[in-house]
Homo-oligomer: A and B are copies of this chain.
Amino acid sequence: MTKTTFSDACANLRPIDTAGAGTQATMLSDGLTKPRGSLGRLEALGAQLSAIARRCPPPVPEPVMVCVFAGDHGVVDEGVTPWPKEVTAQMVANFCAGGAAINVLARHAGADVVVVDVGVATPVPADAPNLLRRNVRPGTANLATGPAMSLEEAAAALDVGVEVAARCVADGAKLLVTGDMGIGNTTPSAALIAALTGHEAGSVTGRGTGIDETRLAIKTQAVARAVSRLHPGTPALEVLAEVGGLEIAALAGFIVSGAAAEVPVVVDGVIAAAAALMAAAFAPDVTGYLIAGHRSSEPGATVALEHLGLEPVVDLRLRLGEGTGAVLAVPTVQAAAKILREMATFDSAGVTDKDATSS
């Protein structure tokens, strides 16, 4: 199979079929044995799944694959987090061994986990099973003081994501879930969200896994310094290279690649939201394929999701990342398809429909 690049994926992307299969889903839903609209967000999700699959009712989106992209961040040197950088590699080993939260929650949802080293700084043990080794460089440079990576490295990381999504789709995935690991990665995420939405650093920078006021001030300052090097009209790839992260770039490629294959993508928290914004900057039609898994505690996540017009499925005050919030949304996403596929209609069940009998 020829290797697909990020540019190919962007070019292959077409808008979802809202007017056709999406509208059919709404009409179908209105005839099911329930008051119209009473299943709330489930009905909207069902219409979106139909529009993505271009048929109604949509197939149930399974099998599910969660792809966790890992990378390190030079900005950790500024003191934006109390966690040592080595934890990224330690957690990659934990993912590969099946002991992290994402492993537990993915198993519970019947999903497989794929772990990808896009840019971990500390060597990952050679015996880590099932790890895709695609290290573009061992962590980014410090984005507070200069470009996080080169344009070539950013492009290479985008291509890693494209390859991983294509591999999952070839393996049968019908629903993709974004995951991430990278000590310090809420900092580049905040910078990307500030750069791509025009918000101030202070309004999109949060406490990540739980930092104190001092570190928050350092972090906000690092984001502001990074973003100050950009201007409206800076090309998307340059924004990514200047203030992004390797795993965030890979996630953006993964998202566009999944969408180009017409597979819905459930995005996790603030890292994934930044990647989704980045993906939409390259290929605006990607947003139709995205389902916001959950509302992260991180303020930048809400800003990014609003900018993309996405509403989260789950709101459980999670702030872990890894894909945990997104994978918790999977049963609800699948339920939306089953509602359209399995519910009886007023006619078939012999139930009186008020809207057919009264005004």
Question: Is A91 in contact with chain B by the CB < 8 A criterion?
Answer: yes
Interface size on A, residues (CB 8 A): 60
**Chain B residues within 8 Å of A172, by CB:** none
Nearest chain B residue, comparing its CB with the CB of A317: B40
Contacts of A101 in B (CB 8 A): 32-34, 39, 339, 343
Which residues of chain B come closer than 8 Å to A351, judged between CB atoms?
A: 87, 90-91, 94
- A347 CA to B82 CA, complexed, in Å: 18
A68 to chain B, nearest CB (A): 14
Whether the pair A318, B104 counts as a contact (CB closer than 8 A) is: no
Which residues of A in the span 302-359 have a Cβ within 8 Å of any Cβ on B?
Answer: 313-320, 324, 328, 331-332, 334-335, 338-339, 342-344, 348-352, 354, 357-358
Which of chain A's residues 78-126 have a Cβ closer than 8 Å to chain B?
82-84, 86-87, 90-91, 93-94, 97, 99-101, 103-105, 107-109
Bound: A150/B297 CA distance, A = 50
Q: How far is the CB of A100 from chain B (nearest CB, A)?
A: 6
The answer to whether A41 has its CB under 8 Å from any CB of chain B is yes
User: Is the beta-carbon distance between B318 and A352 smaller than 8 angstroms?
Assistant: no
- Contacts A39-B318, A335-B328 given; indicate if A354 touches B83 (C-beta within 8 A): yes
Smallest Cβ-Cβ distance to A345: which chain B residue: B99
**Complex partner residue of A315 from B86, B315, B338, B342, CB under 8 angstroms:** B315
Residues of chain B contacted by A335 (CB below 8 angstroms): 104-105, 108, 328
Residues 140-161 of chain A, each 1 if its beta carbon lies under 8 Å from chain B, else 0: 0000000000000000000000
Q: List 17 A-B contacts (CB under 8 A).
A: A33-B91, A33-B100, A34-B101, A35-B209, A38-B210, A38-B320, A39-B320, A87-B354, A90-B352, A91-B351, A93-B350, A99-B344, A103-B342, A104-B343, A108-B334, A315-B315, A328-B331
